[in-house]
Amino acid sequence: MLHIYLYDDDQKPINVYLADLETLAAKGLTLTNYYVLTHPSEPKYVASAGDDYFGFNSDHTISFPPNVSTIVDLLTKRFKIPRDSNEVPDIRDIYDYHNLQKYVNY
């Protein structure tokens, strides 16, 4: 599962990344119902994993109560979930994806 969050703080316009995003989207399922649940960002990340933002309204460190199931709970029954970015496989290993026109590998 790959989640891509797009922010408007980058100075490059989105069309710079459009071809790359279209290539990734063609290799998987693209969800199209986007709703902003709250601000700041962390509750939105919580909602993408837990299907709810559980009333969180800050970027403070949070923990899910043991009685709350998330997509991570479902996936860990079958797959090993990386705990940090050092354990995440390189995207090239998964998709063999590269952008030859820009000579940039992702």
Select from 47, 80, 75 the least CA-distant residue to 62: 47
Which H/E stretch holds residue 57?
A: none
Beta bridge partners of 98: 105
Residues 89, 82: Cα–Cα separation, whole Å: 9
Q: What is the pLDDT of residues 21-59, one digit of tens each?
A: 788 778 777 767 666 666 677 777 777 777 777 777 777
DSSP state of 84: S
Six token digits for residue 33: 């119902």
Say whether 85 sits in a helix, a strand or coil.
Answer: helix
> Do residues 72 and 49 lie in contact, with contact meaning Cβ atoms separated by under 8 Å?
yes
pTM of the model: 0.41
Is pLDDT above 70 for 102?
A: no
